[in-house]
Amino acid sequence: MSSDGERFAALRDAVQAWVSQDPDEVTRADLVGMLEQAVIGDADAVEELRDRFHTRLEFGTAGLRGRQAGGPNRMNRVVVAQTAEGLARFLTDSSPSPSIVIGYDARHNSAQYAQDTAEIMAGHGIETLLLPRPLPTPVLAFAVRSIDRSAGVMVTASHNPPQDNGYKVYLGGANLGAQIVSPQDALIAARIDEAASESIVTYARSEEYSVGGDELVQRYIVRATETHTTDDASLRYVYTAMHGVGWETARAVFTRAGFSEPIGVAAQNDPDPDFPTVAFPNPEEPGALDLAIRTAADSGADLIIANDPDADRLAVAAPFRDGWRRLTGNEIGALLGWRAAVKHTTTRGRPAPPAVLATSLVSSPALEAVARTFGLGYVETLTGFKWISRVPDLLFGFEEALGFLVDPVGVRDKDGITAAREFLALATELKAGGVSIEESLDRFASLFGGHASEQVSARVENISLIAALTASLRQDPPTQIGDLAVTGIRDYRDGIDQFPASDILRYDLERGGRVIVRPSGTEPKLKAYIDARSDVGRGDRRRAAAAETARYLADAVTVMLSERA
């Protein structure tokens, strides 16, 4: 085994080699300064350098995402160039005439990463189009399909903290413009590793790429309003872009569809990569909608619509009996799925073309009840729209983390802008009929059962302990959770039906309850998704009873996981 001195010498050499090829003076200076501190014995600097250089930021089906700083285990220009080079080699392997469209949001360095990618793609002779300015992720996803590109890249970290950035990859053709899945991720990752083993100065670059005008954005706006327009502009609604890139495009879609001008949250309309008014730029987070709620109360609005910073997710808040409340992703998905089913059967009649409603496995089973009632197909997938978007005959899909796909023809990914347009249409029709959002949820429960969901997380100090926790659940499976008997167990470890092998356990409970346990993909914790159902009484009572059971199960699951941790 090498000595500590030899290990540090190897780390020093790796840092110096990286610095020699880093074109970013900020990350380069940071690494040089940190190495100087490490040389004089600063233990924190040594530990930080080891963390940055002990491995590479992993490329997978979600692309890349991580904190921006120097080193192979962070997001930076070197890592992006290596990734772009590897992707370019994959594309030229796959097609004699590959093409790509590249988009980016307004985060720190997004425009630079996009330009680096465009230059490297063009250096390989790949037909390359760079979108003209920071734009929503759905515009990029739309462009891959609309102009029939072999691939698309979106530089974004979605709703991650300000210091993060990311790199999402889409494939066209037979992949329908969806995000990559296995084995494509592994094939691309292998080419990236190959590129990373070489010197960055050997990567061919060219400025022979095109920068798009506004025509693709306008085409997206037209597509986003083709399936619904209204002459009822009575709904007053607040919109927040959460300091992201949604305001300009969303506003154009909403007004072209016939809705009134959105009431903007002034402090959050314009892109700001530091997200100064929110602790975390995710509309699911507590407090994230506080400014929007204040704006809605001051303006007498009927509804709040929020997108996350890259506008691929949708959050909604509405006045309930006890004040303004944010709807859960499952509640929005239930209402939009119900609406999609009604529109499909009303406009097409029966017999109708095959149509499928789809959710991720951990989302509410409420959509299955809708599909069953309307005679539609229903599919559960693994988490992520890379799976939902590939479901054949898809009519509507969602996952509980505020992702909704309402137009599979236009965009094969979650789209917070077209989903917002659809929810505005729903809210407008409800208002015209004198029905509130809360009353609509009660009606849903009357027709399809009361559904409620909760989540529980068991955090551990070391991610390796997650395997021990799931092993315990497999070796000694629970026979009941709380006082509800376990009526069935499904273990996805070896794959079930259309699901590939996954570390997921599902427990079906009496009275329609369900608990799904899986490791977090990004943090050292085990996550439990809890669903409860009630069919007793009126809709409001069904919802209340399901919510009470879900809370009870959440407490029981917390105890169960803590006892095994």
pLDDT in tens, the chain (565 residues): 457 888 999 999 999 999 999 999 999 999 999 999 999 999 999 999 999 999 999 998 889 999 999 999 999 999 999 999 999 999 999 999 999 999 999 999 999 999 999 999 999 999 999 999 999 999 999 999 999 999 999 999 999 999 999 999 999 999 999 999 989 999 999 999 999 998 777 799 999 999 999 999 999 999 999 988 888 999 999 999 999 999 999 999 999 999 999 999 999 999 999 999 999 999 999 999 999 999 999 999 999 999 999 999 999 999 999 999 999 999 999 999 999 999 998 765 555 678 999 999 999 999 999 999 999 999 999 989 999 999 999 999 999 999 999 999 999 999 999 999 999 999 999 999 999 999 999 999 999 999 999 999 888 777 778 888 899 999 999 999 999 999 999 999 888 777 878 889 999 999 999 999 998 766 678 899 999 999 999 999 999 999 999 999 999 999 999 887 7
CA angle, residues 399, 245, 388, in degrees to nearest 5: 20
Choose the catalytic residue: 158, 363, 389, 453: 158
Domains of the chain, start order? 1-54 (no CATH), 59-213 (3.40.120.10), 218-447 (3.40.120.10), 449-564 (3.30.310.50)
304 vs 291: CA distance, rounded Å: 11
Active-site residue, 158 included: yes
- Classify residue 488 as exposed, middle or buried by CB count within 10 Å of its CB (0-12, 13-18, 19+): exposed
Residue 154, C-beta contacts closer than 8 angstroms, at least 6 positions apart: 102, 103, 104, 105, 137, 140, 141, 167, 168, 170, 310
Q: What is the pTM of this model?
A: 0.95
H/E/C letters for each residue in 171-207? ECHHHCCEECCCCHHHHHHHHHHHHHCCCHHHCCCCC
DSSP 47-79: HHHHHHHSSPPPPBTTBEEEEBSSSTTSBSHHH
279 vs 48: CA distance, rounded Å: 25
Sequence letter at residue 171: L
